Structure 1
């Protein structure tokens, strides 16, 4: 399987999470890297995952995986 890279311009780091938006509900959802490359989602590296910011009034939902 091909390594997926961060979607941010000029970032060549490996993607670790996937970001999706729901513009109608003014919500951004970020979670573990999706199984497949989705043209409607954005893959992010660890640094850009932590730095994520959204427009004022928007909600960010973070889906975390359990560390056992």
Structure 2
């Protein structure tokens, strides 16, 4: 399986989450690394996932996976 890299410019760390935006609802959703090929999604490393900020008035929804 090919390692996916963070989408942030200049970052070469391994992606651990996927970010999508819903502009109509002013929402950003961050969840587990999604399937390849979605041109509207952005893969993020752990650092950029943690540092994520959105415009004032927007909501961030974080979907966490259960760890066993």
TM category (shorter chain) comes to: over 0.9
Structure 2 equivalent of residue 2 of structure 1: 2
Secondary structure of 1:4 counterpart: coil
Match of 1:32 in 2: 32
Unaligned runs of 5+ in 2: none
TM (norm. structure 1) is 0.95
Matches within 5 A, 1:1-68: 1-68=1-68
Size of the alignment, in residue pairs?
A: 68
Q: Which runs of 5+ in 1 are unaligned?
A: none
CA RMSD of aligned residues (A): 0.8
Cα separation, 1, equivalents of 2:40 and 2:3: 18
For 1:42, what is the secondary structure of its paired residue? strand
Give the structure-2-normalised TM-score: 0.95
CA drift at 1:37: 3.3
